[in-house]
Amino acid sequence: MTSNRKQLHLNAFVMPNGHHEAAWRHPSTDPHRAATLKHYVDIARTAERGKLDSLFLADGVALWGNVRYNSHTLFEPLTLLSALAGATERIGLIATASTTYNEPYHLARKFASLDHLSGGRAGWNIVTSAGEDEARNFNRDARPSHALRYERATEFVEVAKKLWDSWADDAAVIDKASGVYADTDLIHPIDHDGPHFQVRGPLNIPRPVQGHPLLVQAGSSETGKEYAARFAEAVFTAQQTFAEGKAFYDDVKGRLANYGRSPEEIKILPGISPILGRTEAEAKEREAELNALITPAYGVRQLSTMLDHDLTPYPLDGPLPDVGTFTEGAQSRFELVTGLARRENLTIRQLIERLAGGRGHRVFAGTAAQVADQLEHWFTEGAADGFNIMPPTLPGGLEDFVDLVVPELRRRGLFRTEYTATTLRGHYGLARPVNRTTVTTVKEHAA
Amino acid sequence: MTSNRKQLHLNAFVMPNGHHEAAWRHPSTDPHRAATLKHYVDIARTAERGKLDSLFLADGVALWGNVRYNSHTLFEPLTLLSALAGATERIGLIATASTTYNEPYHLARKFASLDHLSGGRAGWNIVTSAGEDEARNFNRDARPSHALRYERATEFVEVAKKLWDSWADDAAVIDKASGVYADTDLIHPIDHDGPHFQVRGPLNIPRPVQGHPLLVQAGSSETGKEYAARFAEAVFTAQQTFAEGKAFYDDVKGRLANYGRSPEEIKILPGISPILGRTEAEAKEREAELNALITPAYGVRQLSTMLDHDLTPYPLDGPLPDVGTFTEGAQSRFELVTGLARRENLTIRQLIERLAGGRGHRVFAGTAAQVADQLEHWFTEGAADGFNIMPPTLPGGLEDFVDLVVPELRRRGLFRTEYTATTLRGHYGLARPVNRTTVTTVKEHAA
Ligand SMILES: Cc1cc2nc3c(=O)[nH]c(=O)nc-3n(C[C@H](O)[C@H](O)[C@H](O)COP(=O)(O)O)c2cc1C
Ligand SMILES: Cc1cc2nc3c(=O)[nH]c(=O)nc-3n(C[C@H](O)[C@H](O)[C@H](O)COP(=O)(O)O)c2cc1C
């Protein structure tokens, strides 16, 4: 069944035990199994069974949060997604990697490698590593400033694109008879010489199947949005209300023209953590059951990190103290959290509960039809091109979504019943980038 | 059938189309398929069917050799081996990674991730990146000196070990009832502050299944051998003759005592490229068939790189000119090649042919029994603990080895018929390293 309606896009955001901070304590999860490849293979296959566009792994290069109470990451995303490449056929595989503590040659190459291994299914969530702890693992006392991180991220992606384009698409001739493996006239050094990077190239792997892996971004500050408008093809974002979501959507889409891009060239995917029940009451009960497992000490630590402000000295049942204005770290999350506390006049404990489901992302408890209503509303009213699905528990929360919400979206003609493309770009309806630096030519030896 | 004889170890060294430089032109290979994951899955499963200890991927962080005539690497090893982790059950997975152009936090973490994903099968071939081209992809005009590279490699591995040990083996408590995910008293920053690296830690992944991944090394210079004696648990080496192999073996084993290690703690694996035939004549014919496909221009380029000396101006059928003495790059390969040319008084063309099969590694064409004789001789006479098998073509050359030579070695009681361990360390009979920095303690909360 194909629909005439515009189709929405779905990404599964995978965390070991799910997105609710107490997920690992829930009776339905098995945190020991979450430390094995099998667990992720099952999740990836469930997402693929639902014909989701992609799955996504977040990342940080330091121990996140307070591991006494939870574990957010475990496997390094590029290694885990490579392992999943062989266990899946169609679903896109999006890995987070930092531009602040990596070298473009390594990352360009690893993403090219994953793209080839998966037959064109690699995506890169570009992050600038807002954490102070991350700097200390890489020969620094403190993180570089927000502005400097984005400056480096800009040059980083430019270098990566040049590296992916350092082989023409048809450079690998592989002519056994003549003994020509690759046409070296179609492979060029990039000779990049910039303020942050000096990279000669060429890359040591042919141009990715997709040309470039899908470029994803999740910064929501002014600089972050400008960066997204310039480079990103998909944007993850945390938006609490439809009005905010709509404003963000229009804002980012409106910036694309400045970079000679059309609004369709970027897909905006707000996050939602759907807590599902057969009835609304059952869904609310599940939510309460998860919230009852929250460890407040963990929440205070998380909140302190988000706000870059130590909240441990303040009473849990008192108001959020004055945390000043944003200085460093993740600007958009700072504003979302302080905005929420102010708007609803929440105590620290209440704020922690509101954030426990999705660290600032929207949590919605309801029936499959109610969740589908939400998605349809945001999608049809121009606040989203699709969604970043953040199951409260895993694998159960994703199974529920695929078995209950996906069929409902299909009944409404909003979501595919079969994959129509083989690549991640194909799923999102995005073009394969033309190679602007190493142009294919008709060669004599082909005659 | 178990044997009372000491068992030898076998590693499959995997290159896209095989080790002979003309392998990709041979009728039995499919270089297009060698650019797909399927190809490597088949190879890995063949090696596992033969119960080999491990498979190994070489690597460089620049385009190797002259890609006009051949392609040595393709996929980045950590991504490819992660993909193979899910497609195999028992075989060890050894990835090459450079200490000169990486950061210890990233590498320690990726190897820990691969080790967890594979259930304890990760190994790291530690290299210092001898190539001049590699430096230019990482913000440098020239490679650091041989001495400086090894200095950095020393501190690099010390940091990596501290990071792997930053979690006690039982730090992940995962107690749903109390809400304690990990015992943070058993997870420590490493606070490393050295001349090359300042790394706070801890790592953001639990201690590897194997404690540390297997540490492999292949430097054969004085500094390289000293490094191996200090850190390595397996050594790859290129040795042309039994006498040289035996001298190298005794030399390296003899150095271990200086580091408080016993000779059994390191496994020495000389390389051999076995060209197999049902008869000796058939094997020699296959060798000639491969040599006939050599492109001399490629060989000259390869030789020039090995000797760090441009040989293109010299006549192919003239002698090797004076290339001086070793200055920079890969010292042991320089000496092997100049020694071979001198000893046998070879022209450049002859030298190229001698190197085409294995870039300086030993090539042996013969029947399965003759190959087994060679391996048995080196093994029983103390020149090897096992071998680095470098199939001339892939997948065919490995299938031949597994189907013809492995059964012969078993008949002689020299090689396992079944895996007796589940980890890479287990296969090589090496102990799991004790955690020296973060010691497990009996905790009150366990009561
Ligand atoms: C859905 C989503 C996922 C994110 N994942 C990561 C991540 O995995 N690692 C990371 O360092 N930052 C992550 N971020 C943070 C952003 O990439 C960005 O660094 C942060 O919002 C700060 O940028 P800004 O100041 O422009 O908002 C994520 C943000 C969102 C909305
Ligand atoms: C079997 C074998 C495999 C090797 N693989 C690599 C490799 O993948 N990448 C690399 O840069 N060097 C590789 N080398 C080179 C050594 O790691 C080392 O860098 C080189 O021998 C120079 O060190 P040396 O001067 O101590 O000999 C290999 C050597 C041997 C014998």
Tokens of B43: 């190879």
pLDDT tens-digit profile of B413-439?
A: 999 999 999 999 999 999 999 998 877
Dist CA A100 CA A149 (whole Å): 6
The percentage of chain B sitting over the pLDDT mark of 90, rounded to a whole number, equals 81
Dist CA A96 CA A102 (whole Å): 12
Dist CA B192 CA A301 (whole Å): 25
Whole-angstrom Cα Rg for chain B: 22
Q: What is the pLDDT of residue A443?
A: 47
Q: What is the pLDDT of residue A38?
A: 97
Dist CA B197 CA B361 (whole Å): 35
Question: Cα dist. A416→A49, A50, B325 in Å?
Answer: 12, 9, 66
Q: Does any domain span residue A98? A: yes
Among all residues of chain A, which has the CA nearest to that of B117?
A: A37
Confidence of residue B443 (pLDDT cuts 50, 70, 90): very low
Report how far apart the first and last C-alpha atoms of chain B are (Å, whole number): 46
Q: C-alpha B380: how far from its chain's center?
A: 22
Task: Report the pLDDT averaged over residues B372-382.
Answer: 98
DSSP B173-204: EEETTTTEEE-GGGB----EE-SS-EE----S
Q: Does any domain span residue A443? A: no
Question: Cα dist. B263→A241, B233, B260, B267, B430 in Å?
Answer: 66, 10, 10, 8, 12
Contact list in B for residue A172 (CB cut-off 8 A) is 35, 71
Residue where the block lists tokens 């020509």: A180
Q: Are B412 and B4 in contact (CB under 8 A)?
A: no
pTM of the model: 0.94
Dist CA B20 CA B180 (whole Å): 55
Structural element, H or E, at residue A13: strand A9-14
Dist CA B203 CA B103 (whole Å): 13
- Nearest-CA residue for ligand 1 atom 29 is A218
Report the range out of A112-116, B302-306, B350-354 with the highest average pLDDT. Answer: A112-116
pLDDT tens-digit profile of B186-196?
A: 999 999 999 99
Dist CA B238 CA B248 (whole Å): 10
Tokens of B348: 């450049």
SS3 A122: strand
Q: Does any domain span residue A304? A: no
Q: Does any domain span residue A129? A: yes
Dmax (CA) of chain A: 79
Residue where the block lists tokens 């010489």: A193
- Nearest-CA residue for ligand 1 atom 22 is A330
Residue where the block lists tokens 């470098």: B390
Which residue ranges in chain A fall short of pLDDT 70?
Answer: 1-3, 65, 72-73, 327-330, 441-447
Q: Does any domain span residue A198? A: yes
Question: Is the CB of A71 less than 8 angstroms away from the CB of B182?
Answer: yes
Dist CA B306 CA B351 (whole Å): 12
Dist CA B127 CA B329 (whole Å): 12
Q: Does any domain span residue A302? A: no
ipTM here? 0.94
SS3 A15: coil
Confidence of residue B33 (pLDDT cuts 50, 70, 90): very high
Q: Which amino acid is at B404?
A: L
Model confidence at B442: pLDDT above 60: no
Prior bond of B274 cis (ω within 30°): no
The atom number, within ligand 1, closest to the CA of A331 reads 25
Q: Are A347 and A319 in contact (CB under 8 A)?
A: yes
Per-residue DSSP letter, B208: P
Q: Does any domain span residue B186? A: yes
Dist CA A68 CA A109 (whole Å): 35
| Total number of residues shown for chain B | 447
Confidence of residue B447 (pLDDT cuts 50, 70, 90): very low
Q: Strand pairing partners for B388?
A: B11, B271
Q: Are B132 and B100 in contact (CB under 8 A)?
A: no
Q: Are A173 and A182 in contact (CB under 8 A)?
A: yes
Q: Are A234 and A221 in contact (CB under 8 A)?
A: no
The torsion angles phi and psi of B374, rounded to 5 degrees, stand at -60, -50
Q: Strand pairing partners for B319?
A: B347
Tokens of A385: 């091109």
A173 interface with B at CB cutoff 8 Å = no
Confidence of residue B389 (pLDDT cuts 50, 70, 90): very high
Residue where the block lists tokens 């509303």: A377
Q: Which of B10, B98, B4, B125 is nearest to B407 (CA)?
A: B10
Could you tell me which residues come within 8 angstroms of residue B231 by beta carbon, excluding any fewer than 6 positions away? B126, B154, B157, B215, B217
Q: Strand pairing partners for A234?
A: A216, A267
What does the angle CA B405 – CA B411 – CA B414 come to, to the nearest 5 degrees? 80
Dist CA B445 CA A31 (whole Å): 19
Could you tell me which residues come within 8 angstroms of residue B266 by beta carbon, excluding any fewer than 6 positions away? B228, B229, B232, B233, B234, B235, B252, B253, B256
- Per DSSP, helices labelled H in A292-326 are 296-307
Question: Cα dist. B331→A105, A160, A406, B142, B354 in Å?
Answer: 26, 33, 61, 17, 19
Q: Which of A218, A228, A217 is nearest to A251 (CA)?
A: A228
Per-residue DSSP letter, A342: H
B259 interface with A at CB cutoff 8 Å = no
**Residue A55 in contact with ligand 1 by CB distance below 6 A:** no
Q: Binding site for FMN: what residues of B are annotated?
A: 59, 96, 146, 150, 220-221
> Of A74, A133, A204, which is closest to B60 when you measure between CB atoms?
A204
Q: Pairing between strand B122-127 and B214-217?
A: parallel
Question: Cα dist. B348→A180, B146, B370 in Å?
Answer: 22, 27, 29
Number of domains in chain B: 1
CB atoms within 10 A of CB A389: 29
Model confidence at B358: pLDDT above 70: yes
Q: For residues A31, A34, A35 and A41, what is the CA-based torsion angle, rounded to 10 degrees? A: 170
Question: Is the CB of B139 less than 8 angstroms away from the CB of A198?
Answer: yes
Q: Which of A168, A179, A442, A437 is nearest to B66 (CA)?
A: A179
Contact list in B for residue A293 (CB cut-off 8 A) is 179
The domain in which residue A404 lies consists of 9-277+362-428
Distance (Å) from the alpha carbon of A233 to chain B's nearest alpha carbon: 24
Dist CA A335 CA A319 (whole Å): 17
Q: Which of A36, A373, A35 is nearest to B86 (CA)?
A: A36
Q: How many helices (H) and strands (E) does chain A have?
A: 15, 13
Dist CA B155 CA B149 (whole Å): 10
Task: Report the pLDDT averaged over residues B139-152.
Answer: 96
Tokens of A308: 């870059």
- Nearest-CA residue for ligand 1 atom 11 is A129
Q: For residues B335, B337, B338 and B344, what is the CA-based torsion angle, rounded to 10 degrees? A: 130
pLDDT tens-digit profile of B195-210?
A: 999 999 999 999 999 9
Question: Is the CB of B71 less than 8 angstroms away from the CB of A182?
Answer: yes
Dist CA B11 CA A16 (whole Å): 34
Q: Are A388 and A13 in contact (CB under 8 A)?
A: yes
Which ligand is nearest to the Cα of residue A97, counting in written order? Answer: 1
Q: Does any domain span residue B309? A: no
Contact list in A for residue B181 (CB cut-off 8 A) is 24, 31, 67-71
Q: Pairing between strand B192-193 and B198-199?
A: antiparallel
Q: Are A203 and B136 in contact (CB under 8 A)?
A: no
Q: What is the pLDDT of residue B437?
A: 82
Residues 406-445 of B with CB under 8 A from A: none
Q: What is the CATH number of the domain that holds A197?
A: 3.20.20.30
pLDDT tens-digit profile of B241-272?
A: 999 999 999 999 999 999 999 999 999 999 99
Q: What is the pLDDT of residue A92?
A: 98
CB atoms within 10 A of CB A242: 16
Q: Which of A4, A3, A2, A12 is nearest to A386 (CA)?
A: A12
A295 labelled ligand-binding: no
Residues 116-135 of B with CB under 8 A from A: 116-119, 133
Q: What is the pLDDT of residue B65?
A: 67
> Of A61, A68, A183, which is closest to B181 when you measure between CB atoms?
A68
Question: Is the CB of A41 less than 8 angstroms away from the CB of B201?
Answer: no
SS3 A19: coil
